[in-house]
Amino acid sequence: MEADMKWYVIHTYSGYENKVMQTLEQKVKSMGLENVINRILIPMEDEIDVKDGKKRTVKRKVFPGYVLIEMEVNDRSWYVVRNTPGVTGFVGSATKPIPLEPKEVEKILKTQGIESEPKTHISVEVGEEVRITEGPFENCMAVVTEINEEKGTVKGLVNMFGRETPVEVDYSQIEKGLE
């Protein structure tokens, strides 16, 4: 990911969020802006709706009237986003959009089941021993039983109280096992 890529908030006409997202995705492809505009997101959450005594789960926008965009702001990208039908502007000052704080972004992405950092690839294999570096199993040794590259996690067995306990930890929470 580019160093200048940050998340920004675009204000849209209410109800135009999906249209703005689709239009921007098309513009990014047609104008070759993939290296400047990375991801576009409308945070959604499940809400239980009760109608006529029946429960059903519906998706609701977390921030109605807003779309999140991960991009590098330059004159061209700013102009493309700003002149998309349905967009009323960036959140921030009129001339310079203000990026979201990394902690805010991480929280929002987590609620959407999206990792904020690009996936890390680790060089451990099933059957290999690793040391857990943080969390409740910090400093425990685990034998890797499964690697989930999609989620960026490793499942392993930790020997506790004379029995093997299955654990799942993030790539960032392990290191190659050197006792």
Q: Are 9 and 66 in contact (CB under 8 A)?
A: yes
pTM of the model: 0.61
- On the question of pLDDT at 6 being above 60, the answer is yes
- On the question of pLDDT at 29 being above 50, the answer is yes
Q: What is the mean pLDDT of residues 101-119?
A: 78
Could you report the per-residue pLDDT of 47-91, keeping only the tens digit for each?
888 888 888 888 889 999 999 999 999 999 999 999 999 999 999
Residue 1's pLDDT is: 44
Amino acid at 143: V
Percentage with pLDDT > 70 across the chain? 91
- On the question of pLDDT at 27 being above 50, the answer is yes
Percentage with pLDDT > 90 across the chain? 48
**Between the CA of residue 92 and those of 4, 21, 148, what are the distances in Å?**
17, 19, 39
Residue ranges of domains in the chain, CATH in brackets: 4-110 (3.30.70.940), 126-174 (2.30.30.30)
- On the question of pLDDT at 3 being above 60, the answer is no
